[in-house]
Amino acid sequence: MTDLIHPLLLCGGSGTRLWPLSRKSFPKQFTQLIGDESLFQASARRLSGPGFAPPLVVTASDFRFIVTEQLAGIETAAAATLIEPEGRNTAPAILAGALVLAAEDPAALMLVAPSDHVIPDAARFREAVQAAAPEARSGRLVTFGIRPDRAETGYGWLELSRDPGDFAPEAQPLQAFVEKPDAATAQAMLDGGRHLWNAGIFLLRADALIAAFETHAPAMLAGVRDAVARATRDLGFTRLAPDAWAGLDDISIDYAVMEKADSLSVVPYAGAWSDLGGWDAVWREQGPDDHGVVTTGPATAIDCEGTLLRAEHEGQALVGIGLRDMIAVAMPDAVLVAPRDRAQDVKKAVAALKAKGLPQAEALPRDFRPWGWFESLVVGPRFQVKRIHVHPGAALSLQSHHHRAEHWIVVQGTAKVTIDDEVRLVTENQSVYIPLGAVHRMENPGKVNMVLIEVQTGSYLGEDDILRFEDVYART
């Protein structure tokens, strides 16, 4: 086991700086920002292959089925999926992964990686990881520093002990962590050539990290040990004990132990990398044309320069005319327009919408569930029309409603419908009525996606008007 590298994928963040595409209900790591796969899928694929064990995943409860579905989409599965009761930053999450690994093999080599980074050259990055492995196996904590190409003030930096030369992936002692600098300091570090961007990626032995917590954060080690020891199994997931987790400090791994440890090494990585920390980063990563323009989806740029235009729905037509250094992102329920140099202020939009109580702040119009997804097409007084998409073999819970009746029309596939004591198959172009109070369920017994239109009528149409009697996904 010690010869394998065990990826630990962190995917519990909310990604508010990429609103309106990334929202709390479906954050950026699960979206197809660049390419045909989500950032999470690309990360899992990058950290796989010869020499790599199946990944451990740390995520939030709301994302556990998304993790499973997206890993299945790239024909892989997690060795374990740890469910954080609440977000407490990276230190507790990483330590929990180390404790789970150490229970099987104390010397297991763990590669800690956020799941929302873009690293186009996966083979080159894996080579850097393998080059760092001997150093990590010796017991040192190894971090990876990115060769900088600009005086970036949005990243932390790493100070090297010596000139990296051609930035070959060779380990050297880490001199110091540097907090996010001002513009002048960032330029001086870029010009000096002995600083790298801090990518937040680490390679280390599980027991070495646990020992670092024993020395520098013993209270956190005790709390996380308790949360892991009293974790419960939920289907294929491991739920960390919520009472123990709630008492932990909300702190990053850098602050908790890395900046205090004396056994740190750094491996330079000279390949392309981005954390996609804002729409300006997406613009850079997508490769602007000769006029500095990037368009995605049904978007058209006319006489624009230095501009990102992105439309997310096939029924939209986003047109920019004469724009200079702008960002415009159109979703079915929200549109963002901002100067490109204000990309880091997008989180202010989220805060403003939350203050107004608007659902667009945190929720997408498409609501993802373990069985598929649904979206509201029309909402009016005492009625709502939804489109519901159910995966092959999936089933909604056996449920009833106090305030609404429903009418289902199958438009694709076949639905197996339960209404009280009756079970029937409803095929394409057929419909069925569910009276108020009836105990009902829909299932997709086929091998293709099932789609239906649901018309709800009643005095209250909220999603909390559900009384569940049975659920294959163990939701309460």
| Residues 80, 164 share a domain | yes
Say how far apart CA 267 and CA 288 lie, in whole Å: 30
| Residues 220, 132 share a domain | yes
| Residues 323, 238 share a domain | no
| Residues 106, 236 share a domain | yes
| Residues 335, 252 share a domain | no
475 part of a folded domain: no
| pLDDT for 30 | 95
Instruction: Assess whether pLDDT exceeds 60 at residue 226.
Output: yes
| Residues 292, 197 share a domain | no
State the average pLDDT over residues 345-352. 95
* Count: domains in the chain: 3
State the average pLDDT over residues 272-278. 92
| pLDDT for 389 | 97
276 part of a folded domain: no
248 part of a folded domain: yes
Task: Encode burial over 379-403: b for 16+ CB neighbours within 10 A, e otherwise.
Answer: eeeeebebebbbbeebbbbebbbee
| Residues 290, 261 share a domain | no
| pLDDT for 180 | 92
| pLDDT for 132 | 96
**CATH classification of the domain holding 401:** 2.60.120.10
Instruction: Assess whether pLDDT exceeds 80 at residue 194.
Output: yes
Taking only the tens place, the pLDDT of each residue in 293-339 is 999 999 999 999 999 999 999 999 999 999 999 999 999 999 999 99
274 part of a folded domain: no
Global pTM reads 0.91
| pLDDT for 12 | 82
Three-class secondary structure of residue 352 per DSSP: helix
Q: Determine contact, residues 374/386, Cβ cutoff 8 Å.
A: yes
CA 103 to chain centre: 27
201 part of a folded domain: yes
180 part of a folded domain: yes
Three-class secondary structure of residue 9 per DSSP: strand
Taking only the tens place, the pLDDT of each residue in 162-183 is 999 989 999 999 999 999 999 9
| pLDDT for 466 | 93
Taking only the tens place, the pLDDT of each residue in 36-49 is 899 999 999 999 99
Say how far apart CA 284 and CA 16 lie, in whole Å: 19
| Residues 416, 379 share a domain | yes
239 part of a folded domain: yes
| Residues 439, 395 share a domain | yes
Domain C-terminal end among 300, 321, 355: 355
pLDDT class of 1 with cuts at 50, 70, 90: very low
Q: Determine contact, residues 28/15, Cβ cutoff 8 Å.
A: yes
102 part of a folded domain: yes
**CATH classification of the domain holding 66:** 3.90.550.10
| pLDDT for 248 | 95
Largest CA distance in the chain: 75
Q: Which domain holds residue 129?
A: 5-269
| Residues 415, 343 share a domain | no
Instruction: Assess whether pLDDT exceeds 90 at residue 3.
Output: no
| pLDDT for 50 | 92
Say how far apart CA 288 and CA 282 lie, in whole Å: 10
Domain C-terminal end among 308, 332, 355: 355
Instruction: Assess whether pLDDT exceeds 70 at residue 33.
Output: yes
| Residues 308, 256 share a domain | no
Say how far apart CA 96 and CA 300 lie, in whole Å: 47
Residues 6+ apart with CB under 8 A from 46: 119, 122, 125, 126
Taking only the tens place, the pLDDT of each residue in 393-452 is 999 999 999 999 999 999 999 999 999 999 999 999 999 999 999 999 999 999 999 999
State the average pLDDT over residues 202-231. 97
Domain C-terminal end among 355, 390, 405: 355
| Residues 91, 195 share a domain | yes
| pLDDT for 2 | 56
| pLDDT for 476 | 65
Mean pLDDT for the chain? 94
